[in-house]
Amino acid sequence: MVENLNEKLANILIHYSLNVQPEDHVWLRGDISGLPLLTCVYRQLIDMGAFVHSDIGISSWDEHLARFGNEKQLTCPPMIGEHLAQNCNKNLQILSTTNTQMLHGIPSQKLALLNQRRKNILKTILQRSASRELDWTLSLAPCSAFAQEAQMGLEAFQELFYKACFLDSPDPIAKWKELSEQQAEIIRFLETKTRLHIKTPDTELFVHIENMKWKNCDGKRNFPDGEIFTGPNLKAHCGGVNGRARFPFQTIFAGVVVEDIQLTFRKGRVVAATAKTNQDFLHAMLETDEGARNVGEIAIGTNSALKQITKNILLDEKIGKTFHLALGAGYPETGNTNVSALHWDLIGDLREGSMFADDICFYCDGQFLFDGWPRL
């Protein structure tokens, strides 16, 4: 059953998400723990005439580098990745691992250095994507490590994942197109607005969105998907972001679990930050570089099949009845050009919250208020 679903997923990733054509140069990235899905993707790409440049790693090697590498080794950029980021026109990354906690206990300063290794790669991907030279999609293989992190059995996690991909539908692509149309309605409303106001019992956040572009996430960039996002206008007189926000859910970044993050923003930058667990790590990430304290993204989750935190950000940021904010690198196609080695998505709870655009309430207690918008 899983093999058949992997074949179905591979087909959607290739033909719907990335729209790969014969003789496209596809940069296929992943970890050896995701080999069953990667193999399905590779075979289908070869069979349809694409040029495949495989970049398959072993995640446990990152642990050894983090533990024993010196500063030069930790910050040395991966030259193969830099070359492929610059020269391929399609990029498919499949996330998986054998151990989500392998970097636990590594000093925060070393993790910050390790995170800088791919700064140029991330910058290249975002720039070439904005100029439409590179299409990219990020997905995952529902492996045992991810299931364990979500405190679920493997079969239950696989079921959650495949449903979130709409693979239980007779026509998954039609379902994604339907969600795309609903999200387009939200964007048509928001793209004419100047300010976004997010209000919950412990969040009062004001985001300047004038002249910024909203993106419709309908299974092309992430799979599964289900969100709309933009970036704050950091060049605005107000700095783009002001107020306070609480992110109550556990999140994992660089293998470190951080819980109940609370941030205060002034003129676009984080000026105060606390966390219930691993606060020192949070502070270290904010010192990654000059852009790490800025906000690169603000988004609203719309995938109604996702209803629980899994501690996997690819899934959690799509959960219906949530918003998320990313510290660090922005997406140039939104108009946000913040540069950072950091891009850390933090999930906020909207089940008892409201959102306003130029003082018009369009979302209340976990539901959009207008007809034709997604039902959560």
pLDDT at residue 277 is higher than 70: yes
Q: What is the pLDDT of residue 11?
A: 96
Instruction: Tell whether 291 is covered by a domain.
Output: yes
Q: What is the pLDDT of residue 114?
A: 86
Instruction: Tell whether 150 is covered by a domain.
Output: no
Q: Which domain holds residue 123?
A: 2-141
Whether residue 111 is found in the same domain as residue 188: no
Whether residue 330 is found in the same domain as residue 181: yes
pLDDT at residue 137 is higher than 90: yes
CA pseudo-torsion sign 150, 91, 326, 232: negative
178-210 pLDDT per residue, tens: 999 999 999 999 999 999 999 999 999 999 999
Give the residue-averaged pLDDT of 137-153: 96
pLDDT at residue 139 is higher than 70: yes
Instruction: Tell whether 164 is covered by a domain.
Output: no
Whether residue 325 is found in the same domain as residue 177: yes
Q: What is the pLDDT of residue 374?
A: 85
321-376 pLDDT per residue, tens: 999 999 999 999 999 999 999 999 999 999 999 999 999 999 999 999 998 888 87
Residue 65 region, left (φ>0) first, then alpha (ψ -120 to 50), else beta? alpha
Q: What is the pLDDT of residue 191?
A: 96
* Cis, peptide link before residue 36, omega less than 30° from 0: no
Whether residue 250 is found in the same domain as residue 137: no
Instruction: Tell whether 126 is covered by a domain.
Output: yes
Instruction: Tell whether 87 is covered by a domain.
Output: yes
Confidence of residue 43 (pLDDT cuts 50, 70, 90): very high
The residue among 120, 141, 162 that closes a domain is 141
Whether residue 228 is found in the same domain as residue 131: no
pLDDT at residue 116 is higher than 90: no
Give the residue-averaged pLDDT of 231-250: 96
pLDDT at residue 119 is higher than 90: no
Instruction: Tell whether 158 is covered by a domain.
Output: no
SS (H, E, C) the chain: CHHHHHHHHHHHHHHHHCCCCCCCEEEEEEEHHHHHHHHHHHHHHHHCCCEEEEEEECHHHHHHHHHHCCHHHHHCCCHHHHHHHHHCCEEEEEECCCCCCCCCCCCHHHHHHHHHCCHHHHHHHHHHHHCCCCEEEEEECCCHHHHHHCCCCHHHHHHHHHHHCCCCCCCHHHHHHHHHHHHHHHHHHHCCCCEEEEEECCEEEEEECCCCCCEEECCCCEECCCEEEECCCCCCCCCCEEEEEEECCCEEECCEEEECEEEEEECCEEEEEECCECHHHHHHHHCCCHHHHEEEEEEEECECCCCCCCCCHHHHCCECCEEEEEEECCCHHHCCCCCCCCEEEEEEECCCCEEEECCEEEEECCEECCCCCCCC
Whether residue 95 is found in the same domain as residue 238: no
Confidence of residue 166 (pLDDT cuts 50, 70, 90): very high
Instruction: Tell whether 244 is covered by a domain.
Output: yes
The answer to whether residues 212 and 338 touch, using CB atoms and an 8 Å cutoff, is no
Q: What span, in angstroms and rounded, lies between the C-alpha atoms of 249 and 260?
A: 6
Q: What span, in angstroms and rounded, lies between the C-alpha atoms of 139 and 91?
A: 11
Q: What is the pLDDT of residue 252?
A: 86
160 contacts: CB under 8 Å, gap ≥ 6 = 150, 152, 305, 306, 308, 310, 315
Whether residue 56 is found in the same domain as residue 110: yes
Q: What is the pLDDT of residue 371?
A: 84
CATH code where residue 108 lies: 3.40.1830.10
Whether residue 135 is found in the same domain as residue 183: no
Whether residue 190 is found in the same domain as residue 321: yes
The residue among 119, 141, 163 that closes a domain is 141
Whether residue 294 is found in the same domain as residue 207: yes
Q: What span, in angstroms and rounded, lies between the C-alpha atoms of 97 and 146?
A: 8
Q: What is the pLDDT of residue 130?
A: 87
The bridge status of strand 90-95 relative to strand 51-57 is: unpaired
pTM: 0.86
Whether residue 84 is found in the same domain as residue 186: no
Tokens of 280: 């020192």
Whether residue 134 is found in the same domain as residue 235: no
Q: What is the pLDDT of residue 1?
A: 63
Q: What percent of the chain has pLDDT over 90?
A: 86
**Number of domains making up the chain:** 2
7-35 pLDDT per residue, tens: 999 999 999 999 999 999 999 999 999 99
Question: Among 98-102, 219-223, 259-263, 324-328, where is mean pLDDT lowest?
Answer: 98-102
Q: What is the pLDDT of residue 6?
A: 95
Q: What is the pLDDT of residue 33?
A: 95
- More confident: 233 or 109: 233
279-301 pLDDT per residue, tens: 999 999 999 999 999 999 999 99
Instruction: Tell whether 154 is covered by a domain.
Output: no
